[in-house]
Amino acid sequence: MPLKDKKVIALVENEFEDLELWYPVLRLQEDGAVVHLVGDEAKKTYQGKYGVPATSDYAFSDVNAAEYDAILVPGGWAPDKLRRYAGVIKLVQEMDEHRKPIGQICHAGWVLISAKILTGKKVTSTPGIKDDMKNAGATWIDDPVVVDGHLISSRRPPDLPAYMKAFCDVLANE
């Protein structure tokens, strides 16, 4: 199990893109990682865009970035809500400061924009926020997955296999 002893935060908020949360969580667990769902409240059930629920293990204020090896931000409409929490911004900035893997897919780039960590980085996202990513100082590339150091980004659900292969590779070598 190549990711044994790795701990990952998966952020969660209502209207997450169901596949963009659950596919990465299950993929990481298959490789032995421990994944904690982290939301604004502990033990709260959030609903995905298509109705798949996710119950948080912890609240943003309960976790310490130093105790984790990586963080995942799902897409959907959740990122527009997630980026409003100071705790989320702090977690992402601390992960970035320590060059720990940060995964973002689809609209999740909004969280990285609000954390102000994209200047000079190469990324991808849903084309719908391409201009936002570029205005934040990133170079936007229309590829299924883009890896720039510890930042792993992807466009949409059909890209999930390439995205999670890249994320797992970066995390395994962290």
**Residues annotated catalytic, as ranges:** 106-107
SS3 percent helix, strand, coil of the chain, rounded to 5, is 40, 25, 35
Question: 129 with 107: CB under 8 angstroms?
Answer: yes
Length, in residues, of the chain:
174
Cα–Cα separations (whole angstroms), residue 162 to 62, 95, 100, 110, 166: 31, 22, 19, 21, 6
β 102-105/151-154 pair status: parallel
What radius of gyration do the chain's Cα atoms show?
Answer: 14
